[in-house]
């Protein structure tokens, strides 16, 4: 008996383009992209961000002293007048239709908005990136700075004992009322301004995340070789 004359199948040969033909079944094995070694590791990076956030919180909060001094200097004074009624001193507003009290709150709010924008711009210029710790630090520091400015401005302003001031000024003599922040919501102006400005700067000028797939899929021919 003789062996069959059918020749064995030829071995796989590379295509003219230099690529091996795809294996049977039409599936092409794709090598997995190497993972970023730093992804998911929040050791030194997270510690650095927390230290920077702590520094930002302290610096922004201390800047509230400057806000308080400016508020005391720029806020309009509320005129009061003292009088003696039935042997007792009474104090009342000299101008009952005046808007000085509204101006006091408005001055604080505008100054706080300006401080929030400036602090956010300085932090972004320092780090040139966003991040949750920095945003939280700006908001917390802005709130602490606003509270410090409020209390410092009240302390630097006229005393809270209006009866003693009326007696010292004399009957019918105008004197300034204690500095008072009527709208407590103004304490949040610094934080919200810093948040919005920092997020806006990060969206416009912050670094962009790299494309994890490079320049996109490369077109290939029927053998799996990249086209020239």
Confidence of residue 210 (pLDDT cuts 50, 70, 90): low
Distance between first and last Cα of the chain? 54
What is the arithmetic mean of pLDDT over 4-21?
53
> What pLDDT shows up at residue 46?
85
DSSP helix/strand/coil, 90: strand
Q: What's residue 131's pLDDT?
A: 80
pTM: 0.70
In this prediction, residue 123 has a pLDDT band, given cuts at 50, 70 and 90, of very high
Q: Is the pLDDT of residue 212 over 80?
A: no
Q: Mean pLDDT check: name the lowest of 151-160, 171-180, 182-191, 209-218.
A: 209-218
Determine the pLDDT at residue 100. 86
Higher pLDDT, 188 or 4: 188
Residue 225 pLDDT: 62
CA angle 169, 172, 173 (to 5 degrees): 40
| Percent over 70 (pLDDT), the chain | 71
pLDDT (0 to 100) of residue 97: 74
Q: What whole-number distance in Å separates Cα of residue 143 and Cα of residue 134?
A: 14
Nearest Cα neighbor of 59 from 178, 144, 158, 127 is: 144
With cut-offs at 50, 70 and 90, classify the pLDDT of residue 22: low
Mean pLDDT, rounded, of the chain: 80
- What pLDDT digit, counting tens, does each position of 158-174 carry? 888 888 888 888 888 88
Q: Is residue 190 pLDDT above 90, yes or no?
A: yes
Q: What's the confidence (pLDDT) of residue 35? A: 44
Q: Is the pLDDT of residue 108 over 70?
A: yes
DSSP lists the bridge partners of residue 82 as 91
Mean pLDDT of 219-224: 62
Q: What is the pLDDT of residues 29-64, one digit of tens each?
A: 444 444 444 434 444 478 888 999 999 999 999 999
Angle at which helix 100-127 crosses helix 189-205, to 10 degrees, equals: 30
Nearest residue to 142 via CA among 52, 58, 55: 58
Whether the pLDDT of residue 10 is over 70: the answer is no
pLDDT > 90 in the chain, percent: 42
Contact present, 104 and 76 (Cβ < 8 Å): yes
10 Å Cβ neighbour count for 180?
15
């Amino acid at each position: 008996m003789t062996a069959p004359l059918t020749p064995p199948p030829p071995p796989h040969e590379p295509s003219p383009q230099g690529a091996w033909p795809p294996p049977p079944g039409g599936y092409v094995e794709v090598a997995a992209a190497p993972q970023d070694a730093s992804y998911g590791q929040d050791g030194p990076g997270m510690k650095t961000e927390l230290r920077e956030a702590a520094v930002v919180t302290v610096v922004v909060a201390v800047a509230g002293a400057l806000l308080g001094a400016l508020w005391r200097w720029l806020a309009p004074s509320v005129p009061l007048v003292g009088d003696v009624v039935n042997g007792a001193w009474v104090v009342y507003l000299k101008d009952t239709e005046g808007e000085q009290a509204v101006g006091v709150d408005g001055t604080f709010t505008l100054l706080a908005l300006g401080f929030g924008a400036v602090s956010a711009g300085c932090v972004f210029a320092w780090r040139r990136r966003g991040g949750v710790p920095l945003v939280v630090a700006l908001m917390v520091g802005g709130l602490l700075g606003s509270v410090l400015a409020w209390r410092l401005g009240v302390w630097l302003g006229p005393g809270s004992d209006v009866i003693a001031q009326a007696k010292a000024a004399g009957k019918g003599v105008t004197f300034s009322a204690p500095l008072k922040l009527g709208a407590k919501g103004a304490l949040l102006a610094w934080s919200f301004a810093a948040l919005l400005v920092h997020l806006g700067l990060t969206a416009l000028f912050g670094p962009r995340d790299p494309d994890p797939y490079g320049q996109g899929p490369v077109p290939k021919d029927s053998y799996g070789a990249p086209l020239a």
